[in-house]
Structure 1
């Protein structure tokens, strides 16, 4: 798990990547059900699922994720969220369009998700310890926790180019391999970074 702080926003962020996930359909059902559960049961389930569940196939780098997290936190600090929580805002910001349903479909957990990123944003102290969060995440996801440097191996680069509408971009003409991935990553980060301005 990768953890870092944004001191001026009084936030800590934790990002974990899982491969060989076998309970994505169950997680999706729980997330949907938790949104309508009432009373103490609903509060407990929402607290248990208090993460951004991101399918990493359209994620090109840690920087892309950090950019989305930062903009979601800024929106939260200014009471300007377009979604219900800072975690759903991260997923919204990752998507190049302003359609929230589309963002959840593209970037959220689905029945077919086999690799999964969990992001936990803690905006106000006291923040849970890294050990507590790791245990909670591992209890939630039936999968193998792996280092974030595995991220590019699960990225679907062709799908990224299609979703971010990069196939006709002149800067990618004739470029292949690692150089193509580098340029695609830079273009994707720029799109995520400017979303709040363009929205």
Structure 2
């Protein structure tokens, strides 16, 4: 179950017991939409329109997304960093890709998680008003966010987030695995 109030608290042995906490109210995330597309035939055109218009729209490879909580955590961190003036990248879209990744290497994060020109499936993260500017361009089939799991590539996720080292307890529970992935994303700069 996805909490309506996104609150992420990370505790443990992180650089001398560092604790990281941030909370965003529903209203701050309510403006953000998540849309999933498959059978897309014009990703290059869509990407070109987004980049040339400088629209704050993020296109993500859905194969590397475990669940909606992972998306909300990355968006929440992006919004918080935007407020604090501590963004690691130059845009909303690239900051989300950075926080979705377990890597601190920005280029690697963008390459690994960003949908490329040949993508036939992607996840769109944006404000509804921005999305409306490219909606008609997308030649593909929109599917429900609930169907995101059908596009998931478990082996790539395992490799990307180091899940081979995770105990059976995490692997037996989708919710625990989601929490582990989000913890890896959010603590990458602390470890």
Partner of 1:110: 116
Counterpart of 2:177 (choices 174, 181, 184) is 184
- Rounded to whole Å, the distance in 1 between the matches of 2:180 and 2:157 is 11
Structure 1 unaligned spans of 5+: 35-41, 122-129
Partner of 1:90: 96
**TM-score calculated relative to the size of structure 2:** 0.76
Partner of 1:46: 54
Distance 1:94 1:134, change over 3 A: closer
Q: Is the 8 A contact 1:161 1:184 kept in 2?
A: no
**TM-score calculated relative to the size of structure 1:** 0.73
Counterpart of 1:150 (choices 147, 151, 158) is 147
1:167 aligns with 2:167: no
Partner of 1:198: 190
Deviation track 1:61-114 (CA, whole Å, cap 9, x = no partner) reads 000000000001110000111100122100001110111111111110113422
Structure with more of its chain in helix, by fraction: 1
Cα offset for 1:21?
Answer: 1.0
1:120 aligns with 2:117: no
Count of matched residue positions in the alignment of Structure 1 and Structure 2: 169
- Rounded to whole Å, the distance in 2 between the matches of 1:10 and 1:135 is 19
Structure 2 unaligned spans of 5+: 6-23
Deviation track 1:174-199 (CA, whole Å, cap 9, x = no partner) reads x5xxx36444323112222334x527
Cα offset for 1:23?
Answer: 1.1
Cα offset for 1:154?
Answer: 0.1
